[in-house]
Amino acid sequence: MTKRLSGVYAAYLVFAVIFFGPVLFMLWSSLRNNVDITGSLFNIASPLTLENFTNLFERFEFGRYIANSFIVAGGSTILGLVLGAPAAYVVVRRKLAALGFVTLLARMAPGVLFVLPLFVLSIRIGGPDSVALNYALLIVAHLIITLPLCIWLLVPFFEEIPISIEESTLIDGANAWQRFRRIALPLALPGLSVALTLSFIFSWNYFLFALALANERTLPLTVIAFNFIGQGSNDFGGLMAASTLISAPALLLTVFAQRWLVRGITGGAVK
């Protein structure tokens, strides 16, 4: 038995080095200076510093990029929940498959397909010149990610609510909205937190829409980090610090909400 156990842990170690190693490498590199990063991988004793992070905030307006990411991810998540929760409820109560198909289409369509029309629209309404309009466009674009995801994640939670609980309120003469608002929604609260966290992360991570649509003042973290590649290609420490900041919400989530995450990224493929 112990022989089998050590075999499993040996496999753990191999897989962890392969799949978690690069993440550790990113975190570690974000804390080393450039000479050490490019000097030797094997110099483990090299000094650690927070300089890469402080540089980001001093030389660039990193605070604003973070705020931009928050605005877009937060806005699209809240909108996705407000629209998605009632819709998921209807999908469950009416056993609706058609909406599922459209959300599937949203999942399968290449992102560029959405970006072209949005870009044309953006130019027509003056999106590139207006900060407020640009935020609005980005939030709406990210709704393509968050709305299907919210519906997808919430459906199983509404399915778990026994119909008998709701039926009992029929006698009190509660109308459909009251049943949803006062009974179904509170019972689905765990699901709402799952959907909130996951769609925030997915929206935060998403790259393409902001790449094509954001203007100078609304650039989120993902795109500014990409723009860095061209500008300071030798500043690996800065790039790794930026990567670490981008990854922070996802990393925190893995530590605190692993079970939700499994459910979320497998998208209901397994329970």
Partner 1 sequence: MSDLMTKSPAASGSASAGPGAGAPPPRRRRVDPTARGVWPFALPAVLVTAVLVLVPVAYTIWLSVSDRQSDGTNSGFLGFANYAEMFGNPQFWNSLKVTLFLFVVCLLVETVLGLALGYVMSLDVPGRRIFQGMMLVPAITASVAVGLVWLLIMDPSLGAANQILAKVGIDPVVWLGDPDIAPWSIALVDIWQWTPFMALIISAGIRSLPEEPFEAAALDGASGWRTAWNIGLPLLRPVLTVAMLLRTVDLVRFFDTIYIMTQGGPVNSTNTLNVYGYNAGFVDHEPSYAAALQVALLVLVIMIAGGFTWFRQRASR
43-82 binders of partner 1 (CB under 8 A): none
> In angstroms, what CA-CA distances link 65 with 107, 216, 219, 224?
27, 10, 6, 8
| Choice between 16 and 131, CB closer to partner 1 | 16
Angle at 241 between CA 238 and CA 247, to 5 degrees: 140
Count of residues engaged in binding partner 1, rule: CB under 8 A:
124
Q: Which stretch binds partner 1 (CB under 8 A): 19-27, 47-55, 58-66, 131-139?
A: 19-27
The pair of three-digit structure tokens given for residue 88, joined into one six-digit string: 């998921």
> Which of 157, 194, 200, 214 touches partner 1 by CB under 8 A?
157
Q: Rule CB under 8 A: is residue 109 a binding residue for partner 1?
A: yes
Determine the Cα–Cα distance for residues 8 and 135; give it in Å rounded to an integer.
49
Residue ranges in 135-154 that form contacts with partner 1 under rule CB under 8 A: 140, 143-144, 147-148, 151-152
CB burial of 214-235 (b: ≥16 within 10 Å; e: otherwise) equals: bbeebbbbbbbbeebeeeeeeb
Q: Rule CB under 8 A: is residue 125 a binding residue for partner 1?
A: no
| Choice between 18 and 45, CB closer to partner 1 | 18
> Which of 128, 156, 215, 232 touches partner 1 by CB under 8 A?
156
Nearest approach, Cβ of 271 to partner 1 (angstroms)? 6
Residue ranges in 225-244 that form contacts with partner 1 under rule CB under 8 A: 225-226, 229, 236, 239-240, 242-244
- The distance from CA 71 to its chain's CA centroid, rounded to whole angstroms, is 13
How big is the chain, counted in residues?
A: 271
> Which of 93, 130, 136, 215 touches partner 1 by CB under 8 A?
93
> Which of 47, 132, 177, 216 touches partner 1 by CB under 8 A?
177
Determine the Cα–Cα distance for residues 91 and 255; give it in Å rounded to an integer.
32
Determine the Cα–Cα distance for residues 269 and 32; give it in Å rounded to an integer.
40
Residue ranges in 182-211 that form contacts with partner 1 under rule CB under 8 A: 182-183, 186-191, 201, 204-205, 207-208, 211
Determine the Cα–Cα distance for residues 55 and 239; give it in Å rounded to an integer.
11
